[in-house]
Homo-oligomer: A and B are copies of this chain.
C-alpha cells in the first residue's frame, strides 16, 4: 500500500535519511527518534517507505535489519541488487555502486543477491 499520508513521524524519519547518505539499523533509528514516536511506528513507517521504494533494506553483519536511501531506489526498481560495505571497526554501513559479477550456477536460477563486504572503511583504514 505504501505511504498515503505525510505525517510528522514520516517527515522525521525521512529527514534522517536525507541528512546523510548513510545506512541506519532499525535499532539505531528507534533510538534516534525515541522521544518523538513509538518503536512500532518506526517499524511501520520503514515498511511503508520501503514498499514505496523510497528506502531499501538489507541485513547487517550482526543479522540486524538496516535501511538506506540511495540513488538507485524507486518504487519499481527496488535496488536490492547493490552490495553493501560494513566497517568492522566503526560499524558504519555504506551502499556500494560497484557491480559484482555472479557466475551462473548449474541448475539454479539466481534471482537476487545479498552481498555484504566487511573490512575497514575510509576513516578506519588509516
Cβ-neighbour of A65 out of B63, B88, B109, B118 (below 8 A)? B63
Indicate with 1 or 0, residue by residue over A114-125, a CB within 8 angstroms of chain B CB atoms: 111111111001
A interface bracket (residues with beta carbon within 8 Å of B): 20 to 34
**A100 B100 Cβ-Cβ under 8 A:** yes
Chain A 89-116 near chain B by CB (<8 Å), digits 1 or 0: 0000000101011110101111111111
Q: Tell me, rounded to whole Å, the shortest Cβ–Cβ distance linking A92 to chain B.
A: 11
Contact A121 B108 (CB under 8 A): yes
Interface centre among A109, A110, A119 (most CB of B within 10 A): A109
Interface residues of A (CB under 8 A from B): 59, 61, 63-65, 85, 88, 96, 98, 100-103, 105, 107-122, 125
